[in-house]
Amino acid sequence: MTQSLKIIWLFLGLFFLAQAAYAETSTQKRRIEEEKRATLIDSQKTDIDSNQRILFDWGGWINFRYIDYDNDDNDSSSRDSFDYTYSNDTRLWMKAFLMPPPDSDYKNRHSFYLRLKDLYITERPEDTAGGYDHDGPHLDYAYAILDLRPFWLEIGRHYLSVGRGIAYSDVGDGIQMTFLHKNWKLKALVSRSLPHQDNIDTSIPGYSKESARSFYGIEAAHRLTLKQTLYGFWLLQRDFSDSNPIDTAHTYTYNSQYFGLGAQGKLPLDIDYWAELIHESGKSYIFDSNEKKNVSAWGLNLGISYDWQITGKPEFSLEYAFGSGDSDRANVTDTQFGNTLGQDKNFLYFGYIPTGYALSPRLSNIHLYRVGATCVPFEKSPFFKKLKFGINYYRYYKDKSEGGIYDPDANVSSSDIGSEIDLELSWQISSELRWILQYGHFFPGGAYSSSNNDSDKYLSLSLTLTF
């Protein structure tokens, strides 16, 4: 057995030795899926300089993960209902490219990509409320890209988004058309939520693995200079979800639209920046009275980051994110315990923004401040050159102190939600093996009552094999 194989088995062993709590909230599931998606993105690309007319390739990706979660309930005196999980996620992909003839003026490249997903999760010991969940095998992606330049048509099941992906980003069944001309990029999309997708509103009967929402979006981006891009988008979300069993006493329909403006590029000293402002409007229902109310909400994300070009590749970032809240809403995603009075000012969105490992809040009724750094400390070492260390510090405040946030335990009327420190150690051991450790510690603030303000801890160990 080689030295590197021994080390791999050592890390695998750590999976089964570590003991502690968990079951993911939907924001945690989403972050994990986004991180997986990022490591799979290369499988969707191809080598442009090939001389062959038809390229075909396939491969696989297997992720083993152990997650321990402690005091999701912020109460160390009561047993955690979420303790820990083991998961095994397998993705198999294939792709085919139809390339232009060599030495021809015709440059169009059409492609097809297919990916299957099979996720198996074991939650806590079987002698308690835990159990198994087998999600799959599902069709993860299946899409074709038709290159009709200056138009590109993407058809099928794939990842769609507008702007930075906060208002909307998800895998959906849909069509997207992109038009590129000089410094302009225009796109239009229509998509439908996936079958078996959980409803964002967990108060609707049968919310689990049942959701029916459609998204219609347009976006225009203009590159002003090589270093500055401005963009704007409009997104319409229509809710066709039904309660199951049918609940005639309550209406759960949540229809919304989003208008966004953004900019990204470089500041002096080569500092990267991004800025996006989103206004949400729409209609939601009050649970008890079934009164229809207007939604009027805001989202904002601002950030800068700097890559220092020295040994160790240090990178620093600063970020602010905001999602407006409603003072009479206890729950930020549901109709029940949702808006009870007047306008619904809660920002509810269908995309993603990273908000940390442990508290992992939605961007609703919250101000989030983040400062972070990453580095590659041993880039000169042959074995550890792809070992990367990252740290993030988060500070969270409520927008409306009387309102609730994504964590139901933060139910005291105080704007101080608390702070969190997240650490990540990732190591690309070889081209086939990647190991990641993530640890998050959330320190609750005044929004937690004195009997419910113990720290949340999150620990994840992950090993990914690709072939």
**What is the binding site for Ca ion (CB under 5 A)?**
20-21, 68, 70-71, 73-75, 78, 80, 83, 326, 328, 339, 341-342, 407, 409
Its sign, for the CA torsion 363, 404, 459, 455, is positive
d(CA 267, CA 262): 15
Of the pair 21, 40, the CB lying nearest Ca ion is at 21
Element (H, E) at 40: helix 26-40
Cα gap 48→284, rounded to integer Å: 48
C-alpha closest to that of 360 among 128, 67, 164, 62 = 67
The residue at minimum Cβ distance from Ca ion is 21
Residue 74 vs 241, nearer CB to Ca ion: 74
- How far lies 77's CA from each of 70, 74, 358, 440, 463, in Å? 12, 9, 19, 20, 33
For the CA atoms of 275, 281, 282, 286, the dihedral, rounded to the nearest 10 degrees, stands at 100
Q: Nearer to Ca ion by C-beta: 83 or 89?
A: 83
- The burial of 237, by beta-carbon neighbours within 10 Å (0-12 exposed, 13-18 middle, 19 or more buried), is given as buried
Structure tokens at 131: 């159990």
Q: Smallest distance from the beta carbon of 346 to Ca ion, in angstroms?
A: 8
Nearer residue to Ca ion within complex by CB, 71 or 161:
71
Which residue, 111 or 453, has its beta carbon nearer to Ca ion? Answer: 453
Least distance between Ca ion and beta carbon 365 (Å): 11
Phi, psi of 450 (to 5 degrees): -65, -25
Q: Is the dihedral of CA 331, 335, 341, 346 positive or negative?
A: positive
How long, in residues, is the chain?
Answer: 467
Q: How far is the CB of 411 from Ca ion (least distance, A)?
A: 10
Paired tokens of 205: 């009967």
Q: Which is nearer to Ca ion, 18 or 277 (CB)?
A: 18
In the complex with Ca ion, the residue whose CB is nearer, 409 or 420, is: 409
* Residue 437 Cβ vs Ca ion, minimum distance, rounded to whole Å: 16
Residue 372 Cβ vs Ca ion, minimum distance, rounded to whole Å: 23
With contact defined as beta carbons under 8 Å apart, do 84 and 19 qualify? yes
Q: Which is nearer to Ca ion, 79 or 149 (CB)?
A: 79
CA distance 74 to 453: 5
What residues are paired with 375 via a beta bridge?
389
CB of 211 closer than 8 Å to CB of 196 = no
Cα(78)–Cα(371) distance, rounded to whole angstroms? 33
Q: How near is the Cβ of 254 to Ca ion at its closest, in Å?
A: 14
d(CA 186, CA 137): 35
Comparison of 421 and 465: residue with beta carbon closer to Ca ion: 421
Using an 8 Å Cβ cutoff, are 152 and 158 in contact? no
Return the number of the residue (154 or 326) whose C-beta is nearest Ca ion. 326
**Shortest distance (Å) from residue 353 CB to Ca ion:** 19
CB 92 within 8 A of CB 115: yes
Cα 300 from Cα 319, distance rounded (Å): 11
Residue 465 beta carbon to Ca ion: minimum distance, rounded to whole angstroms: 26
